[in-house]
Chains A and B, each alone.
Chain A
Amino acid sequence: MKSFRTVLYVGLLSLSSLALAQSAPTPAAPTETQKTFKAMKTLAGVWLGSAKFDPAQPGVEGTSTQVSMRVTSSGNAFVHDMKAEGAPDDGSKMGDITLFYLEDDRLILIHYCDFGNRPRMVAKPSPDGKKITFDFLDVSGGTQYGYIHDAVFTIIDANHHTEDWTYFQPGDKVIHAHFDFQRTK
């Protein structure tokens, strides 16, 4: 909680200032994971796009989709909210939420799925910071309806990115969804 953290800062300020004064002025170089997280955060904003499926899924092919992404928790978490365009904001019927955070120098993705489960994925290093691949780590909750297995974010430019999500159906049949997003704000 920020408020608690603010209080804590008051107590720590003199100590941390002292420590800072005593430490070398060179900041620690960011790790590859931190760089990847920073690249993800550049996607903060509201995006609109459409979905294509492989194999094709009649009825949902080309569905217009809105994604809202924002940084929270003083930069320690990144939120990805996806819903069908025009769906109500209450989220009770449409949409899902994914969070990204650092843990032990790994960039973790946790997806709160409307299937009632929570798969976690871990990012591979992304040398160019443009293509960020999340590999499956584990899943909690029931998987009788299947689960999301992996995801790839590709940053084309500041106003254009794509997302590829792979879904494992029961029986391990695979559906791949490709979303092409343009920034709206």
Chain B
Amino acid sequence: MKFFRIALSIGLISLSSLAFAQSTATPIAPTEAQKSYDILKSLAGTWLGTVKTDPVEPVMDGSTIQTTIHVTASGNAVVHEMKATGTTIGDISIFDKDEDRLMMTHFCDAANKPRFVGKLSPDGKTLEFDFLDVAGGTKFGYLQHVVFTIIDAEHHTEDWIYIQPGGKFIKGHMDLRLLK
């Protein structure tokens, strides 16, 4: 909590200043997880786009999706909220670093909570999240794989692969443009 942090900073400030002064000027190279996380943070904003499904699902194919991504907790977490436009229907995912892994936790409206570990492509354009585990019931299926592809600062895509009961896959491809 910020307030505790402020209180704590008062006590730590002289110590950290001293430590900083004593440290060398050489910056430490960011880890892969940190690079991935920084790329994800660069997506902060409100995005609008359409969804295509594979196999084609007439109910959702071509529907409009709004995604809001924001940084919180002094940069320690990234919040991804997706909803169908004009509705309050949506769900939330949180990204954070845990022991130098980029983690994604999806709080699904299927009443479960799958977790994923992110990895960055060599060109730094694609963030792929591999399934780690799932908590909660899976009788309605669960989200199994997620890929973010950065096209440019105002354009990215998201691919979400969902496993239905019985093991059938549905892939949703979202093409998103930055609104603000």
Q: Report which A residues bind B (CB closer than 8 A).
A: 1-8, 10-12, 51, 53, 57, 59-60, 63, 65, 72-77, 79, 81-84, 89-97, 99, 101-104, 111-116, 118, 140-141, 145-146, 148, 165, 167, 169, 175, 177
Say yes or no: A175 contacts B2, CB within 8 Å.
no
The A interface, classified by DSSP as helix, strand, loop or mixed, is: mixed
Say yes or no: A90 contacts B3, CB within 8 Å.
no
Q: Report which B residues bind A (CB closer than 8 A).
A: 1-8, 10, 12, 44, 51, 53, 57, 59-60, 63, 65, 70-77, 79, 81-84, 89-92, 94, 96-99, 107-111, 113, 135-136, 140-141, 143, 160, 162, 164, 170, 172
Given contacts A1-B162, A97-B79, A114-B74, A167 and B1 within 8 Å (CB-CB): yes
In the bound assembly, the distance between CA atoms of A122 and B22 in angstroms comes to 42
Which residue on A lies nearest to B4, using beta carbons? A167
Which residue on A lies nearest to B41, using beta carbons? A92
CB distance from B88 to the nearest CB of A (A): 8
Say yes or no: A65 contacts B91, CB within 8 Å.
no
Say yes or no: B73 contacts A1, CB within 8 Å.
no
Say yes or no: A91 contacts B70, CB within 8 Å.
yes
In the bound assembly, the distance between CA atoms of A53 and B160 in angstroms comes to 44
Instruction: Return chain A residues, CB-CB under 8 Å to B79.
Output: 91, 97
Say yes or no: B63 contacts A3, CB within 8 Å.
yes
Given contacts A4-B162, A101-B113, A140-B98, A51 and B73 within 8 Å (CB-CB): no
Instruction: Return chain B residues, CB-CB under 8 Å to A59.
Output: 6-7, 10
Say yes or no: B172 contacts A73, CB within 8 Å.
no
In the bound assembly, the distance between CA atoms of A167 and B57 in angstroms comes to 48
Given contacts A72-B107, A76-B108, A99-B107, A89 and B4 within 8 Å (CB-CB): no
CB distance from B115 to the nearest CB of A (A): 11
In the bound assembly, the distance between CA atoms of A97 and B70 in angstroms comes to 11
Given contacts A2-B83, A4-B170, A95 and B73 within 8 Å (CB-CB): yes
